[in-house]
């Protein structure tokens, strides 16, 4: 898989990802199952309402050499790294995270993934809204703290993803994240509408 400016890698692999991983077929089955979960159904409906209907092949299982969980590429869709997945919950998380990137790409016609602030904004939203940093998942990763852990966790994952963007140095990623944090963290579309 090419790592290009359009690839929005999902955040760090969880520590539960230590098994042998899934075959692409097993992962495809879990993707199909994820499409029946309320959160994924809701995001799919919201994308359709925004004029971004996606077909059966939009979310695919692939083998990944890089240490990423998945990614989204404009014009191609969402990839879930089968060899880095073990359980349904991990597949659901990647699908939800990447669907938020796809939703952002769809609703913001001028979204520029080479712009570190644009990329950081979508990562903040995807990290926060997907529940990637829910305390149970953080606990499994060994990062549990009592207060402020959710925002710390989102920041850590945003930095990792934006720094992987060849257009964004560590300093640029940090500046971009801080500049857009409040606006993007509080931009909860499409979840601000009652499902």
Distance in angstroms (rounded) separating the CA atoms of residues 59 and 77: 6
Quote the least distance from Cβ 7 to Zn ion, whole Å.
Answer: 10
Question: Which one of 39-47, 107-115, 125-133, 135-143 is the stretch in contact with Zn ion (CB under 5 A)?
Answer: 125-133
Question: Which one of 7-15, 23-31, 128-136, 167-175 is the stretch in contact with Zn ion (CB under 5 A)?
Answer: 7-15
Quote the least distance from Cβ 188 to Zn ion, whole Å.
Answer: 16
**Preceding amide of 61 cis, omega within 30:** no
Helices and strands: H and E segment counts in the chain: 7, 3
Please give the residues from 156 up to 195 whose contact with Zn ion meets the rule CB under 5 A. Answer: 161
Q: What is the largest CA-CA distance in the chain?
A: 42
Does 8 sit near Zn ion (CB under 5 A)?
A: yes
Residue by residue, DSSP assigns 68-115 as -SEEEETTTEEEEEGGG--SHHHHHHHHHHHHHHHHHHHH-TT--TTS
Strand arrangement of the beta sheet that strand 59-62 belongs to: 59-62, 77-81, 70-73
Residue by residue, DSSP assigns 133-180 as T-HHHHHHHT---SSSHHHHHHHHHHHHHHHTSTT--HHHHHHHHHHH
Does 126 sit near Zn ion (CB under 5 A)?
A: yes
How many chain residues bind Zn ion (CB under 5 A)?
Answer: 4
List 98, 138, 150, 178, catalytic entry: 98
Question: Which one of 45-53, 102-110, 122-130, 168-176 is the stretch in contact with Zn ion (CB under 5 A)?
Answer: 122-130
Distance in angstroms (rounded) separating the CA atoms of residues 76 and 6: 10
Residue 98: active-site member: yes
Nearer to Zn ion, 8 or 34 (CB): 8
Tell me, residue by residue from 90 to 119, as one string, x for binding to Zn ion by CB under 5 A and - for no binding.
------------------------------
Does 12 sit near Zn ion (CB under 5 A)?
A: no
Question: Which one of 4-12, 73-81, 84-92, 171-179 is the stretch in contact with Zn ion (CB under 5 A)?
Answer: 4-12
Nearer to Zn ion, 44 or 125 (CB): 125
Active site members: 98
Residues that bind Zn ion (CB under 5 A): 8, 123, 126, 161
């Amino acid at each position: 898989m090419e790592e290009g400016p359009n690839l929005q890698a999902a955040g760090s692999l969880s520590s539960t990802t230590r098994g042998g991983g899934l075959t692409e077929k097993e992962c495809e089955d879990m993707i199909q199952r994820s499409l029946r979960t309320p959160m994924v159904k809701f995001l799919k409906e919201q994308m359709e309402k925004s004029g971004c209907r996606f077909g059966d092949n939009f979310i695919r299982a692939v083998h990944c050499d890089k240490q990423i969980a998945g990614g989204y590429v404009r014009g191609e869709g969402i990839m879930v790294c089968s060899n880095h997945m073990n359980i349904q919950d991990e597949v659901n998380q990647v699908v939800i995270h990447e669907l938020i990137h796809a939703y952002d790409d769809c609703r913001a016609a001028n979204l520029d993934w080479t712009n570190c602030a644009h990329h950081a904004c979508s990562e903040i939203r995807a990290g926060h809204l997907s529940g990637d940093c829910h305390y149970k998942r953080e606990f499994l990763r060994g990062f549990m703290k009592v207060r402020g852990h959710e925002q710390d966790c989102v920041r850590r994952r945003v930095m990792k993803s934006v720094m992987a963007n060849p257009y964004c140095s560590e300093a640029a990623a940090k500046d971009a994240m801080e500049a857009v944090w409040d606006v993007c963290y509080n931009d909860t579309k499409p979840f601000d509408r009652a499902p």
